[in-house]
Amino acid sequence: MSVIRAENLFYCYNKGTSFERCGVKDINLSIEKGQIIGVIGHTGSGKSTLAQLFNGLIKPDKGKVLLNDKNIWEDFADIRQVHFKVGLTFQYPEHQMFGETVYKDIAFGPINQGLSGQEVDIRVLEAMMFAKLGPELLNRSPFDLSGGEKRRVAIAGIIAMKPEVLILDEPTAGLDPVSKEGILNSICEYHRQTGNVIIFISHVMEDIARISDKVMVMDKGNLIMYDAPENIFSRREELNKMGLEVPQVTKIINKVHNKLDIKHKCVITVDGAVEDIIENMC
């Protein structure tokens, strides 16, 4: 059974003016239980728009978003429940913050879900653990934190709602390597413990290759490919045409394969590359 399904999804901004731009066009896809989905695409290809459609923040012009086989817009009053079930961290989650303290900010979602005080406390502490935020931050103002810490507070604010689907819009953009690694680990950890669907938007092909079960490739609002990462990254020319790249290791291994005239096999992670080298070249 699919957790999220999109059928003929269309969405345009500024409808009916000369500024009309279509964010996504005719998207059809289905995401199965327990998967991590990576989303890549050139700037302006509609990734964030798709994320907001899944989350129910914007209403499709045409087509349907089905969550557990139920159209999320069937009943307008239910859309709040959809926000809880499909948690979304925005592209610059710094903007997502509005609480006076880190605690209040993370607790905002759970409180709106109607949980009791004690449950809220537990949720907040759990979420902070996932996001690797020390308890000493609880009473700090979120605006005084560093960029990486803000990012993690924003993610914790979503995780605290225990969403069935977690959408992360470029969660690691502009972070140092250690913070980035920390966030990726938190995501994987959350996935291991809950088994929930994660949709991960990123411009870093290496990260996408490393954690996703399936990859979506968007271009100009269209869904061009939706497949396992090995299959996606073996189509280098097509990706290049859309302004995308394959991971560095893939390029290296491809070149080596060509030089040594070995039968081509797509390698996308560092570990995969190590195995491949030992197998073929030693």
| Residue 96 lies near another protein (rule: CB under 8 A) | yes
Out of another protein, Mg ion, ligand ATP, none, what residue 196 binds, judged by CB under 5 to 8 A for its kind, is: none
| Residue 212 lies near ligand ATP (rule: CB under 6 A) | no
Which residue among 14, 17, 18, 118 contacts ligand ATP (CB under 6 A)?
14
Number of residues that bind ligand ATP (CB under 6 A): 13
List CB contacts of 144: < 8 A, sequence separation 6 or more: none
Which residue among 49, 186, 202, 212 contacts ligand ATP (CB under 6 A)?
49
By beta-carbon proximity to ligand ATP, the closer residue of 35 and 45 is: 45
Out of Mg ion, ligand ATP, another protein, none, what residue 43 binds, judged by CB under 5 to 8 A for its kind, is: ligand ATP
| Residue 17 lies near ligand ATP (rule: CB under 6 A) | no
Which residue among 28, 33, 98, 271 contacts another protein (CB under 8 A)?
98
**In sequence order, what DSSP letters do the residues of 12-54 get, joined into one string?**
EESTTSTT-EEEEEEEEEEEETT-EEEEEE-TTSSHHHHHHHH
State the CB neighbour count (10 A cutoff) for residue 251.
13
| Residue 41 lies near ligand ATP (rule: CB under 6 A) | yes
Where do the DSSP E strands lie in the chain?
Answer: 2-13, 21-32, 36-41, 62-67, 70-71, 86-89, 165-169, 197-201, 214-219, 222-227
Q: H-helix or E-strand containing 272?
A: helix 270-281
- What is the contact mask toward another protein in residues 28 to 67, using x (rule: CB under 8 A)? ------------------------x--x-x----------
| Residue 57 lies near Mg ion (rule: CB under 5 A) | no
Q: How far apart are CA 132 and CA 179, in angstroms?
A: 10
Scan for tokens 């990859």, then name that residue.
Answer: 215
3-class DSSP state for residue 237? helix
State the CB neighbour count (10 A cutoff) for residue 134.
9
* Site of interaction with another protein (CB under 8 A): 16-18, 52, 55, 57, 80, 83-84, 87-88, 90, 95-98, 108-109, 112-113, 143, 157-158, 161
